[in-house]
Amino acid sequence: MAVEVHVIKSDTKPTWCPGCGDFGILNATLKAVQATQLDPKDLVVVSGIGCSSNLPHFLRSYGFHGIHGRVMPVATGIRLANPDLTVIATGGDGDGYGIGLGHFIHAMRRNFDLTYIVMNNEIYGLTTGQASPTSEKGMVTKSTPWGSIEWPVNPIALALSAGASYISRGFSGDPKQMATLIEGGLRHKGFALVDVFSPCVTYNKVNTYPFFRERVYKLEDEDHDTSDLLAAYEKAHEWGERIPIGLFYRVDKATYEEEEPALSRGPLVKQPLGLSQEQAEALIQEFR
Amino acid sequence: MPEGDVAIRIGGAAGDGVTSTGEVYAIACARSGLHVTTYESYQSVIRGGHVWFQIRAANEKRYSQGDTFQLLIGLDQQTLDVHAPLLSAPGGVIHDNDRHDLDEGILPEGVQSLPVPAQAISMDVSGKPLMQNVATLGALAHHVGLDLKVLHGSLAKMFGRKGEEIVKLNETVAERGYRHAAKQHKPFEFALRPNGEGRLLMSGHESLCLGALAGGVKLVAQYPMTPASGIMHWMAAHAKDYGVLVKQTEDELAAMNLVIGANFAGARAMTATSGGGYALMVEATGLAGMTETPAVIVEAQRVGPSTGLPTKTEQGDLQMVFGASQGDFPRIILAPRSPEECYEAAWRAFNLAESYQCPVFILTDLYLGEMWRTVEPPDFQVPIIRGLVAEDGGEGYRRYEITESGVSPRAFPGQAGLMFIAGSDEHDEKGELISDIRAGLPEYVDTRTRMMEKRMRKLETALNEMKPPELWGPEDADLTIVSWGSTQAAVRDALEILKGTGITANSLEFFDLWPLRVDEARRALEAASETLMVEGNYTGQFHRLLRAETGIALGHALRKYDGEPFYPREIVAKAEEVLRGR
């Protein structure tokens, strides 16, 4: 049975501002899910808090819309309980690279098999326009009226250091490429990051659609070797006149779920509950 | 102490083998059929410092570590200087006078010096001084009248994993110490009656782990913190054999959210921490409440505030657990009184969490969680109740359906036709948010009220499964001593002592703290002629809760916040003071 986009798209209308980059991400996500022919009952979309974290409501799958910054541990808990499920984690740059940064790094080094889509608009939108961890140095926001004096987080370089096994960046202005990147993440076995430039048309007057359109270029057009870690690092640090989008790095390595002994018998949710008589007797012996 | 009831104390620096010596002795007593209770005082250092371990063995059941001790093993000078004057007669001090000087002038009347050349024995047998503590253990076994064979068996249990040769050496050293003591002094007339009908010896947290396994725990997510780390260690050691996934997370925020994720997907999952770690779990506690996701949280209290005294005990986190996270939502709080009740609390917690789809706390503390006691064998056939779960493909499924009980059917990812979004924002019956474009619209104002009331109704339903307080002792009494959780131990022993003073007292013990069986609590308090509330915190956290819920002000309070557990004599003294003043 083919799964069509209309089957996985819910009736709930997005509440994003007209022109918000997140629309492109929603469409790309729907396309990617359709391309993988995932049954929506086996998909869980997990998010945190922020404009972008409303995304699970726009899909007709299982979803968990949690609290600010804790996407990763909730998504991890779902994966560990039942690795038969496909998990998409999502949220914004404040959620993932600010309050949730610690969880993000640890989830990558553990190489959980999930796809993390970050709608990165370099600003706090829902709280009406404060600096975010990816805001550029010098950016004027409500919380930095004389310009931010911090250097931004570089999510791609961070992911390369932390051990994610699929590291990519998309742009809402190019939903086709983004759908391909998300699909690649879903098919990839291990932690897949899809960082997406998703312009905030209301609060970010710097990193706009035209800003990115003038600068982005596709890595696949420039013969980039996605198995070359050092080349990926170099690309991760390109910023200014030319900004790369596409797949930076991909490597095959064992996932946490594959190496976890308790999962060798199958998903936890399918194991019997309680103790057998033999197990109980063996346990009692330990205390004699 | 009465006949057939002996406590011993072992002291030394961390690294001297105080714990292993005490553990072998406790195992030997339990294997001899005696009732054992223990208390270990340790510090937040890895080597050095001062550690002491008290082990009480008795013919009859005892609850606490006891007030006095009759024998002391001093493995360092500090132990001799600090603890020897505290001994009770008849008794003695086992020490190595080649290494330390015991000032006999500090010994109470009837307490004698019992030197053992422990280091020399260890050197002679093994060529190393390491087993000197085992030589003193051999001497101890003689003085209390334990069978040498039982001691050998206990050494084999303790050191078996180090190989047969090490066990043999330990046995020889113990035997030399035993023979030395036998030549020196006849056994004390403590009237202990070892009967060979071995008892199970475990800590509250070990018992809790057994209860969790019996209750079907599948995942434990935890960040290390005394005194909860033992739960993670035990579970990790048993993870492979019993199919439990143990995840050490990057912090407690992750542990709690991971447990919520796993429960959402349908696996029974728990976390354990102490107060400081629980402080980080507070935000996600509300998430479990709002999304109606089960979660089991063990909160093993230690002394606060902040880092406090990491290796000391207190009952100071009740108020935090009771009020944790913004807004009102149902939560269940169990405070087991004993290791046996830790077992029961663990499997019950999973049933309650899934039945009422809310966070369930097991409030233990360092004293209850880490101290070993002999227990009756647990019943492994426990009920597993998973609560209301929807059938696949149900038409018009509403995850948060408004029901009379407040409980709505859950669905697990993977089930066909039941897809829904669990949201931390307020939502309607289907799970759709009413927090953004619907907020403030009259229709949704009403929805908010109805959803809130639906969730809170679960508490009323859950009340039926909560246990009322237990009244222990005579129904008519001059004094009713009120306590919760682990304080039971000292209170029950205090009642035994009070029997000999002409005061009749009983004990009103609370263990299912929330939702509280208010009617039974009120009746019990009204029936009491005088009340004394005993709890281990400064402000009387349960005292205030009890007054708020029952409207009854308790007469007197004994509170302790010095980090040490209650001792029966402290309660006896307070009881006498209260009744004298009448």
Q: For B202-375, which CATH class?
A: alpha beta
Between B213, B243, B261, which is nearest A75 by CB?
B261
- Note which residues in 30-89 of chain A have CB less than 8 A from chain B: 40-44, 46, 49, 54, 56-57, 60-67, 70, 72-82, 84-85
Residue where the block lists tokens 């714990």: B19
What pLDDT, on the 0 to 100 scale, is given for residue B395?
Answer: 82
Residue where the block lists tokens 């190496």: A259
Q: What is the pLDDT tens value at each position of chain B, 582 positions in all? A: 568 999 999 999 988 899 999 999 999 999 999 999 999 998 888 888 899 999 999 999 999 999 999 999 999 999 999 999 999 999 999 999 999 999 999 999 999 999 999 999 999 999 999 999 999 999 999 999 999 999 999 999 999 999 999 999 999 999 999 999 999 988 898 989 988 789 999 999 999 999 999 999 999 999 999 999 999 999 999 999 999 999 999 999 999 999 999 999 999 999 999 999 999 999 999 999 999 999 999 999 999 999 999 999 999 999 999 999 999 999 999 999 999 999 999 999 999 999 999 999 999 999 999 999 999 999 999 999 999 999 998 789 999 999 999 999 999 999 999 999 999 999 999 999 999 889 999 999 999 999 999 999 999 999 999 999 999 999 999 999 999 999 999 999 999 999 989 899 999 999 999 999 999 999 999 999 999 999 999 999 999 999 999 999 999 999 999 999 999 999 999 999 999 866
**3-state DSSP assignment of residue B7:** strand
What pLDDT, on the 0 to 100 scale, is given for residue A50?
Answer: 95
Between A65, A66, A262, which is nearest B245 by CB?
A262
The number of domains in chain A is 1
What pLDDT, on the 0 to 100 scale, is given for residue B191?
Answer: 87
Among B199, B208, B209, B257, the strongest candidate for a mutation testing the A interface, having the largest count of A CBs within 10 A, is B257
Closest by Cα among B467, B482, B460, B445 to B406 = B460
DSSP assignment of B201-227 equals EEEHHHHHHHHHHHTT--EEEE---TT
Q: Do B214 and A280 touch (CB under 8 A)?
A: yes
Residues of chain B with CATH 3.40.50.970: 202-375
Is the minimum CB–CB distance between B422 and chain A shorter than 8 Å?
A: yes
Tokens of B162: 């180090």
CATH of B5-198, one of 3.40.920.10, 3.30.530.20, 3.30.70.260, 3.40.718.10: 3.40.920.10
Q: Do B264 and A40 touch (CB under 8 A)?
A: no
Give the whole-angstrom CA distance, residue B125 versus residue B28. Answer: 22
CATH number at residue A22: 3.40.50.970
The residues pairing with A167 across neighbouring beta strands, listed in sequence order, are: A193, A249
Residues of chain B with CATH 3.40.920.10: 5-198
Residue where the block lists tokens 């970050």: A118
Compute the nearest-CA separation of B252 from chain A (Å). Answer: 10
Q: For B470-580, which CATH class?
A: alpha beta
The residues pairing with B535 across neighbouring beta strands, listed in sequence order, are: B559
B237 to A286, B224, B244, B370: CA distances (angstroms): 12, 15, 10, 17
Query: Which DSSP symbol is given to B464?
Result: G
Between A70, A269, A274, which is nearest B266 by CB?
A269
Between B198, B287, B416, which is nearest A41 by CB?
B416
Compute the nearest-CA separation of B508 from chain A (Å). Answer: 31
- Its domain, for residue A200, covers 5-285
Q: Do B200 and A287 touch (CB under 8 A)?
A: yes
Which residues in B376-400 are b (16+ Cβ under 10 Å) and which e?
eebebebeeeeeeebeeeeeebbbb
What pLDDT, on the 0 to 100 scale, is given for residue B446?
Answer: 95
The residues pairing with A128 across neighbouring beta strands, listed in sequence order, are: none
Residues of chain B with CATH 3.40.50.920: 470-580
**Residue type present at position B278:** Y
Residue where the block lists tokens 């001059």: B478
CB-based contact A287:B234 (threshold 8 Å):
no
- Note which residues in 4-43 of chain B have CB less than 8 A from chain A: 30-31
Between A40, A74, A279, which is nearest B419 by CB?
A40
Tokens of B424: 């931390």
All residues of chain A having their beta carbon less than 8 Å from the beta carbon of residue B414 are 41-42, 82, 84-85, 269
Tokens of A195: 């960082």
Chain Cα centroid distance, residue B479: 27
Among B348, B397, B419, the strongest candidate for a mutation testing the A interface, having the largest count of A CBs within 10 A, is B419
Q: Do B264 and A64 touch (CB under 8 A)?
A: yes
Give pLDDT < 70 ranges for chain A. 1-2
Tokens of A16: 């994003």
Closest by Cα among B435, B378, B386, B377 to B407 = B386
